């Protein structure tokens, strides 16, 4: 069966986001968990923001990669997003509850959450809508 154009466009987009996430992950600051995570956030206008997890010796102050990317983007005036890809080489990095809530605040009308890891040297990506990961979200 021929893949649809939509599938091809999404596959290419996800591959590009994954490449960006793989480059960004070198900036992860994770001396305590040794579990690097990066995130690539795409604004509705197509601007790209990266983020990494930033740990702290006072563990509660640690910030996830997704929220780092969102806060960078919002602080530069971008508040609506179409996609985020979250990447961790060691295991599939499903976003935590706090990040799901922050993402829901700034999700555009169509918002896709892609999670990616490397398994047996092959990238593995899963894609979800926000509603799938945060049903019945708290909102204004
Ligand atoms: Zn999180």
CA of 2 to the centre of ligand 1 (A): 37
CATH for 5-133 (2.60.40.10, 3.40.140.10, 3.40.50.880, 3.40.50.1100): 3.40.140.10
DSSP state for residue 31 in the 8-state scheme:
T
Catalytic residue flag (residue 66):
yes
Domain extents for the chain? Answer: 5-133
- CA-to-CA dists, residue 4 to 11, 39, 41, 118, 124, angstroms: 11, 27, 25, 26, 20
Segments of the chain assigned E as strands: 38-43, 48-52, 81-87, 107-119, 122-129
Question: What percentage of the chain exceeds 90 in pLDDT?
Answer: 89
Q: Which residues pair with 127 in a beta bridge?
A: 114
- Mean pLDDT calculated for residue range 49-75: 98
- Mean pLDDT calculated for residue range 66-90: 98
- pLDDT tens per residue, range 107-130: 988 999 999 999 999 999 999 999
Question: Which pLDDT band, with edges at 50, 70 and 90, does 3 fall under?
Answer: low
Q: How many CB atoms lie within 10 A of CB 24?
A: 22
CA of 63 to the centre of ligand 1 (A): 7
Residue 136 to residue 41: CA distance in whole angstroms: 23
Residue 66 to residue 41: CA distance in whole angstroms: 8
Instruction: Check 44, 66, 105, 126 and give the catalytic one.
Output: 66
- pLDDT tens per residue, range 33-60: 999 999 999 999 999 999 999 999 999 9
- Do strands 81-87 and 107-119 pair parallel, antiparallel, or not at all (unpaired)? parallel
């Amino acid at each position: 069966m021929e893949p649809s154009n939509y599938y091809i466009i999404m596959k290419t987009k996800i591959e590009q986001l994954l490449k960006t996430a793989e480059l960004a992950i070198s900036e992860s600051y994770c001396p305590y968990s040794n579990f690097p995570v990066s995130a690539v956030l795409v604004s509705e206008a197509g601007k790209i923001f990266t983020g990494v997890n930033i740990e702290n010796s006072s563990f509660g102050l640690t910030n996830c990669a997704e929220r780092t990317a969102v806060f960078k983007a919002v602080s530069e005036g971008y508040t609506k997003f179409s996609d985020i890809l979250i990447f961790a080489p060691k295991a599939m990095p499903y976003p935590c509850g706090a990040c799901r809530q922050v993402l829901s605040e700034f999700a555009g009308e169509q918002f896709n959450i892609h999670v990616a890891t490397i398994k047996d040297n092959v990238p593995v990506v899963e894609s979800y809508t926000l509603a799938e990961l945060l049903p019945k979200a708290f909102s204004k």
